[in-house]
Every structure is written in C-alpha cells, then in structure tokens.
Structure 1
C-alpha cells in the first residue's frame, strides 16, 4: 500500500540523499520488514562461518533503575519492577512448591533495543508509504511494529573508529565526531573484510563508558548535546552496500549536532535510514568487552544473534543481543 512520494518538507540537501537511498517498493508495496529482507539464509550462513572459538558475549545493558533514561526526551521510563507474588503457593495445585512472579513497567527503548520502522516519520509517512496516522493511542503501530521485526542472525562487523584513531573513545577526538562512509570503509579495510549484503554494523564509539561510570546525565545528554555517531555522510555508503542493521553504543545513535547550523535537519540519519531505507537501527548496545576481545584476537567479525521482543504495536523493541566469536 505504498503511497506516491508527496512534496517533501525535507531540507534540500536531505532530499537529494533521500532520492538516492530510498528502498520504497523494493520488496513490494506492502512490505513492513525493510532491510530485514536482507537477513536471509545466506546472511545467516556468513554469520555462522564467523564462529571460531564459540565464546559468547552479551551486548545488552542491564534493565533496572540505573538504565540510561533521565527524562530527555520526556516520557521515557527506566524499568520499574513490581513483585506480584513472593514464594506463594497456588491452593488449587498440589505439591510443596512455591513461586514468585513480577511485572515490569518500562519504555521499550529504555536500554538496549532496536527501533522499528514505525519509530520515525516525516511528511505524515512511515517506511514504504504507510501513514503515520496508523499509530494510535489504543493500538500502537498498526504497521511496522515490533512484531514485524526480523530476528537477526548474520555477520556482525565491529566498527571501532575510536581504536583506529588511537583513542579510547571518539569523544576524546571530538565530542560530536561525525562518522562518515569513508570511516566505515576504513574500518572494513583495517579488518581485512569486504562489506556483504545483510551485514550488521556494530559501531563502537566508547560513549557507553560514561554510563558504566555512573555518568548517566552525560551519557543521555552528551557533552552539551554533542554526541559521536554515524552522520549524514555515512548514509549513502550503508545503502550502497546493502547493510541490514546498524547499531551504536550511544544514546542518540547519530552524530550531534546535525549538519545544518539551524538544526533543521535534526535526526536526519534516523529519518533517511528508518523511514526511507528501512534500515534496522539500535541504540544503547554495549560493545566494550566485544571490542577488547576483537582487538586481542585481531579479528572484527562475529556471529550476531538478536531476537527483538515481538510486542504488538510497539515502535521499539527490547533486545538482548549476543556476539559469538
């Protein structure tokens, strides 16, 4: 049900990029998976071929009161755990057992997560032309919600630009370091790898070290709202190489400030990658241990496993990703 592309409110420099990177209609007018279609059997086999030692590393942050949310933007909640039953017995069931049950109230993007293709819109449209008005208070996202996300089984490539620049973290080089397509190509070359359709880019900036050190405000709000991350100048490279997934160890995902001095292109990477390309994006992934292991081993490719929670109607999905070396 793809709609014709109307006159856009995008700034002209973004419209030029949009026209070159759009994937609308590529997998059919009713497609809700976007670049998840690139996560095919061949991508899974390439990922499996990366397994050498079998070591498994979690890339997920803990879900708890010290998760990244600090109220910017509003409405986002860290997980709140409520114990509903503690060592209770069911009087209708025989035996000597006891059990405990609990509930969690949280934002779906509270910590490590994937954004759905319903997460970002502009000009009243979501990915592939679905109407943004299809997201409602009672049902959430009618199209492109979390239950449509593709489970990730593919080759993950650790993109550690900080290490390539001889720094512990990119904000030591520049608080708003804007990762370009040339940076991504350099990381592949340094790893001795070539991009393959369906790859997942695990972009390490080192920014998550602020969260680990208890500097939650710094992690969530940046250095005066300056963040390192992928920039507008990385978008076309990602599209040209049919990357399926791109995740970062940052709160904002993309570089801030945006390119335009008046910030009229704020969240340009989100808009172009999610709404126009159908790319699977993720934030708050913890690549610290993985990057250290990869540096020790002299290799930067892993099997990436990540199954997002299929919450019907959700616009983001919690995920507990695992890298297998």
Structure 2
C-alpha cells in the first residue's frame, strides 16, 4: 500500500535534503557544533554519571520477532591460554555475535527507506549484502557529545512512579508538557530523551509486555523536533513509535520521517529509569550526554553505551 498523502505532506515540511550540501551523510548531527558542545559541558555541576545502556546479554530484549536481530551471544575463545608456552603470561579472549540493533542502540540513516530513497536523496539500493551501506553508514557519524534533555512524559502524565499505558501515543502536547515541567527549553543541537516507562516491563523480567503493544511517538512529533533543530531522539521502548501503529496499516512512519526525511538518528532500548530518578533528585533535566556510535563500516545501526553527566 503506498504511503498516504498525509505522510508526504509532513515529509515536505520536515525534509532536510540538501540543507548541509548534496554530499552530506550525517544529517542533523551537523547541528552539534563546537559552540553547542562547549555549552553542553557547562551544564555539568555535580559530575554524577548515569549509565543509560542495557547489559549486553543473551537474555536481552529481542524475542525473535525481527529476523536476524539476535541478542548478544557471548563465547569464550581462549581461557588462560599460555600461548607462548608453559609458565608464560596467559591470555583470555572472547567474541560476541549480535544484531547491531539488538540492545541499546542508534538506528543509522540507512535503517529504513521509503519510495526507493534514503536520506539526502541517496538510492535505497546503495545498501548491498556484500558491502552494507555504501553511503550513510554509521562509521560516518561524528562523535555524539552534546546537551541531553530528558522529557519525562511518563512522570508528567502518570505520576512520579508511573508509566504510560501501552496504548498511549506520545503527542507534541505531551512533549510540550514535559518540557514545561523540566523547566528548560529544547534547543538546537540537543539530543532529546523521551521517557515512557515502558522499559520497566523488561527490567521486571517480562520481555513480551515490553515489546508489544507499546506506547511510542506520534507521527505528529517529527515536526516538533524539526522546529527545534534537535540533533537526535531516543526513548525507552523497543519500537520507538506507537506499536501497533497509530494510523492503521501505516508502519514505521516516524522512522521514515526521522531517518529518511530529516536525517535524524533515533535510539531505542535506552534505560532512562535511573536518569529520571537522578533528574528528579537534582531538579534539573538537562545534562552532558555522551552517546558515541560504534563505527561499523557500512552499518545501518550501532550499539551504544550512553552516559549522562549531571
């Protein structure tokens, strides 16, 4: 089924193709300028560091629904091996097999396409089985160090100890309310973290409840992020956007608007629970965020171990 006219209307309003030149491959990360980084560093007050990544483990968030997206399989390849002979220094090595988007991750700009195109009008068939992404691979991404802002929609809509219902569509109005509660304005170059509380299901051991159905961002929210020149967005759900979809039979429209039209990374499976508690305790909702992509050549996604520094 072709994408509806309403989708294309939004796409025209948020499109960034050519904004940073015809050869651009990093999209809205161009908004993280040296000045933005200097201002982000200035937000650090206590030095409190909050990790936002899930452990990389075989009993991870993936249930097998998405083919090939396997949870990390950790294998020891050498254990106390005296490679140079008895009595010499011994070494231990290990290896891992996993989907690059299995746990806490960024979706790269080739993760989805629509109408045969990728961000900045690159052809979707430039992604191949042999080489991966010829353009827009995650190895092209610059260091992601900037100001982060937590928009705790779950706290605003469900109380300090609550989480959003599975059928809750996170709207621009929700983002406005969370921004007002945070007492700060989202600005150009920020990475916005949207908390729904959905990840609590996984942390409590219920992988099925974590995955589907799930709250998520509305098709109306890309315009909110575009208007504020946000550099990237992440949340604490498996699918990022509403699932099952907000608009019947319109699958992953927010992915397509963010990644293809805007050139904006989006992240999933970010654990925002400790960060929400820390922000509430310190009564501040902005911080220095480090969320570096692993530079997998040709990759369409990348694991990330983000850290917020308050």
Q: Which residue of 1 aligns with 2:47?
A: 54
Q: Which residue of 2 aligns with 1:219?
A: 210
Q: Which residue of 1 aligns with 2:65?
A: 72
Q: Which residue of 2 aligns with 1:96?
A: 88
Q: Which residue of 1 aligns with 2:132?
A: 140
The correspondence of residues 117-266 of structure 1 with structure 2, limited to 5 A, is 117-167=109-159, 168-171=161-164, 174-220=165-211, 222=212, 226-261=213-248, 263=249, 265-266=250-251
Q: Which structure 1 segments of 5+ residues have no match? A: 1-7
* Distance in structure 2 (CA, Å) of the matches to 1:75 and 1:308: 20
Residue 305 in structure 1 maps to residue 296 in structure 2? no
* Distance in structure 2 (CA, Å) of the matches to 1:156 and 1:255: 23
**Structure 1 residue aligned with 2:106, among 100, 103, 114?**
114
1:165 aligned counterpart, secondary structure: helix
What number of residue pairs does the alignment pair up?
309
Shift of 1:257: 3.0
CA contact (8 A) 1:170 1:177 kept: no
Q: Deviations over 1:90-117 (max 9, x none)?
A: 228x983211011111000010000110
Residue 42 in structure 1 maps to residue 35 in structure 2? yes
Shift of 1:66: 1.4
Segments ≥4 residues shifted beyond 4 Å: none
1:238 aligned counterpart, secondary structure: helix
Q: When the two structures are superposed, what TM-score results if normalisation uses the length of structure 2? A: 0.96
Residue 105 in structure 1 maps to residue 97 in structure 2? yes
CA contact (8 A) 2:151 2:182 kept: no
Shift of 1:9: 3.9
* Distance in structure 2 (CA, Å) of the matches to 1:180 and 1:150: 30
Q: Which residue of 1 aligns with 2:253?
A: 268
2:139 aligned counterpart, secondary structure: helix
User: Aligned pair in 2 of structure 1 residues 230, 169: CA closer, same or farther (>3 Å)?
Assistant: farther
1:232 aligned counterpart, secondary structure: coil
Q: When the two structures are superposed, what TM-score results if normalisation uses the length of structure 1? A: 0.92
* Distance in structure 2 (CA, Å) of the matches to 1:28 and 1:312: 22
Q: Which residue of 2 aligns with 1:13?
A: 6
Q: 47-56 or 185-194, which moves further after superposition?
A: 185-194
Shift of 1:166: 3.3
